[in-house]
Amino acid sequence: MNRNQPINTSTRIQKIPFVITLLVCSVMCWGCASAVTRVPIKIQVESTIDVTKYSGFAVLPFVEVKDSGRQRIASSDETGEDIASLMRIGLGRNQNLDVVSTQDTLRLFSNETLDEDLLVDVSELVRIGQYFETDAVIVGSYNFFARSQPRRYYGEHYSRRLQRYVTDYQDYLEKTYVLSLRIVIASVETEEIIQDDTYERRAFQSHSVSSFLMSEVTPHQGVLKSLARQAISEFTRQVSPHYEQEERYLVR
């Protein structure tokens, strides 16, 4: 380059406004991105079934699954009806639904034993719905079982002898209670299954060897009913139009 050639400063001067504009835009964009507000809004959720068409229900006693190949927990003879009763209570909270009472239902099934074949016997379910003059019939099955596996908990404690924290562990047994609840809805008018879903809920307990042995002989009806309430709560929420809260992000 010729040292005597004059330096073109006009080009550099022209670039200065561009650089300033770029910096201003960057600052403005950063300010906009920082002004983000989280806004909770209610979203209407439609029912999984046509509630204008199905408003009257008969809930039959639930049937226990016998051959599941799992560590099944024995339940009382009243368990199936207890689950059905919880279902009637849950559906009854919706003022737009009419549910056949427990007394009327038991009057029909007082001398009958239900089995799993009823869940797929649509003609029989339709006959029961016609007897109760309902739009649909709800029937289901339950499978209550447990799984156990050893676990190890790691922790730290301060050792005065070593003058520092040391790691130790404790072995225990984790027992998992599982309730699998199958719920079937049969339409009396169309004579078909309009919904067939399975809801699974779990509860966890930590045991030493002695407490685990005690848990094997203590009644489990309280755990079963608690899990059944959770599953039924989800089901009744799905079949009833409701609002759910979701979050949206408002950028200013």
Burial call 89-116: b when 16+ CB within 10 Å, e when fewer: ebbeebeebebbeeeebeeeeeeeebee
103's enclosing H/E stretch is: helix 102-108
Residue 58 CA, chain-centre distance (Å), reads: 24
Whether the per-residue pLDDT at 215 is higher than 80: the answer is no
What 8-state DSSP symbol labels residue 72?
Answer: B
Instruction: Identify which of 229, 181, 239, 196 has the alpha carbon closest to the alpha carbon of residue 55.
Output: 239
Assigned CATH for 54-235: 3.40.50.10610
**Region at 227 (left for phi over 0; alpha for psi -120 to 50; beta for the rest):** alpha
CB 46 within 8 A of CB 123: no
pLDDT digits (tens, 9 = 90+) for 88-131: 999 999 888 999 999 999 888 877 778 888 888 999 999 999 99
pTM exceeds cut of 0.75? no
Whether the per-residue pLDDT at 133 is higher than 70: the answer is yes
Annotated domain spans of the chain:
54-235
Task: Return d(Cα 163, Cα 167) in angstroms, integer.
Answer: 13
DSSP sequence for 213-232: HHHHHS--HHHHHHHHHHHH
pLDDT digits (tens, 9 = 90+) for 71-82: 677 677 789 999
Per-residue confidence (pLDDT) for residue 240, from 0 to 100: 80
pLDDT digits (tens, 9 = 90+) for 220-233: 778 899 999 999 99
- Amino acid letter, residue 201: R
Task: Return d(Cα 59, Cα 86) in angstroms, integer.
Answer: 10
Between the alpha carbon of residue 241 and those of residues 90, 96, 188, 197, 214, the distances in Å are 14, 10, 22, 18, 44
CB 176 within 8 A of CB 197: no
Per-residue confidence (pLDDT) for residue 184, from 0 to 100: 96
Average pLDDT estimate for 207-226: 67
Average pLDDT estimate for 27-32: 52
CB 144 within 8 A of CB 176: no
Per-residue confidence (pLDDT) for residue 125, from 0 to 100: 94
Per-residue confidence (pLDDT) for residue 66, from 0 to 100: 78
- Coil/strand/helix, residue 83: helix
